[in-house]
Structure 1
Amino acid sequence: MKAWLIERFGTGWLETWKEIKEHPVPPHALNPIYCLGGLTFLSFLIQAVTGIILALYYRPTPEEAYASIQFIMEQVSFGAMIRSVHHYAANIMVLLVMLHMLRVFYTGSFKKPRELNWVVGVLLYLLTLAFGFTGYLLPWDQVAYWASVVGTEIMGGIPVIGKYLMILARGGLKVTEFTLTRFYVAHVIILPLLAILLMGLHFLMVRLQGISEEL
């Protein structure tokens, strides 16, 4: 296999892989508080895997959304477990990203030359909240519906642009089937693509700048 790859792509990728594999990790990186970013990424991977499985059975229409959730919970093999893992991993991910940002702030790791990485981290935190908000509506039950009404009303309270953001999110003046479609598309396509892009930038900057020094 290695010879097959070398024949087609040369040996440059081997040098790159060797450099990554042998790059020294500072001892303090094994401190649990410096592992919060990696645990957040692990939560995201769990969300991605369980979310893909759930998407195989979920139907994003007002008539079928709730019924499809019931089908997943009651008839799909391990469906209830997969949905529970998806639900709890989402909550854990929010907690971990908050703790990660608190650690970065406490240790001063947001300062020069890592200020751009801090901005990317803040954007990832906002994306994490957006994942939770858009996903909450998908069961299309009473709790999800009214939570989305309240959430979009809060969005509408933003000065100047709030009303336009609310209409954009809802697909109109009220929470309707168009809101469900928009939240579903955002949850499974738009937000994951943005998250992957920002995480790639985040990891690249960590790789170039190294892990911040321990206090």
Structure 2
Amino acid sequence: MMASSFQFALQNLRETKVWKSIFRRGPANTNRTRSLAIFGNLFLHWMPVKAREKSLRVRASYYLGSISFILFIVLFVTGILLMFYYHPAAPQAYRDMKDLQFVVSNGVFLRNMHRLAAHLMVFAVFWHMFHVFYRGGYKPPHEFNWVVGVVLLLVTLFLSYTGYLLPWDQLAFWAVTVGTNIISAMPFIGNKVRFLLLGGNIVGENALLRFYVLHVVILPLVAFVLIGIHFWRVQKDGGLTVKPKDEDGRE
């Protein structure tokens, strides 16, 4: 009795829109479903059996997701190298930035490469999301991928924002002050969120430490997990939208 109830509940769950947006196809237990699994897999079959020549042309909007991921890797590597010369404490953080500029060999190049990659990544992710929205990539059955992409966009913006405070100069201090004051204007929870971000009521050393931990540990881990989910979903979809056919082969 309990097993049948569980099977019934599982079947109802599989019929929901959320489940179908994540798991596009059922088990590959027939020749057709096995073929769909191969044709729709990014690794097993890069292109469909037949494709229009127009769809194979390289456009300016191609590879935006890959470009964003490459920039993320550049940020990850340069960020680790910058951590060797940085202390998340006031006023040492500002002195470390000056040492990178005047003392450390190639320090300016390393810091500017990290900063430029951050700006380009925000631009690339925005462009990628705009292109997906313009082409209708958010429509069924790709809703789940669109939601993951929106969360990745928010994580990218928050990564950029948390990294803004780390130089601990006047521009960073007042930019974060203005930003957190805007957050405090949210109804009911604004002041609590601001206090949680800053670790107090002012932009001080607690805020610098919290932004540092968010920037180098928590948000990159979240981004890696979301990128993995996003990439898994893309390789499951394979860029194909195949309409099911009945027993007679008609769509």
TM bin, normalised by shorter chain, reads: 0.7 to 0.9
For 1:173, the equivalent position in structure 2 comes to 201
Aligned match of 1:187 in 215, 220, 223? 215
* CA positional deviation for 1:31: 3.3
Partner secondary structure for residue 33 of structure 1 = coil
Aligned match of 1:94 in 75, 100, 122? 122
Separation in 1 of the partners of 2:103 and 2:239? Answer: 46
Q: Is the 8 A contact 2:42 2:238 kept in 1?
A: no
**Residues 1:209 and 2:237 are matched in the alignment:** yes
Q: Give matches, 1:109-124, under 5 Å.
A: 109-124=137-152
Separation in 1 of the partners of 2:60 and 2:189? Answer: 41
Q: Deviations over 1:140-188 (max 9, x none)?
A: 1111101110011111112221111100001011111000000000000
Larger radius of gyration: 2
What letter corresponds to residue 158 of structure 2 in structure 1?
A
* Greater per-residue helix proportion: 1
- Give the unaligned 5+ runs of structure 1: 1-18
Q: Give matches, 1:129-168, under 5 Å.
A: 129-168=157-196
Instruction: Note closer, same or farther for the CA distance 1:30–1:65 as it changes in structure 2 (3 Å cut).
Output: same
Identity across matched positions, percent = 45
**Residues 1:23 and 2:51 are matched in the alignment:** no
Instruction: Note closer, same or farther for the CA distance 1:210–1:141 as it changes in structure 2 (3 Å cut).
Output: same
* CA positional deviation for 1:33: 1.0
* CA positional deviation for 1:63: 2.2
Partner secondary structure for residue 108 of structure 1 = coil
Higher RCO (CA-CA < 8 Å; seq separation 6+): 2
- Give the unaligned 5+ runs of structure 2: 1-40, 49-54, 242-251
Would you say how many aligned residue pairs link Structure 1 and Structure 2?
Answer: 195
What letter corresponds to residue 23 of structure 1 in structure 2?
H
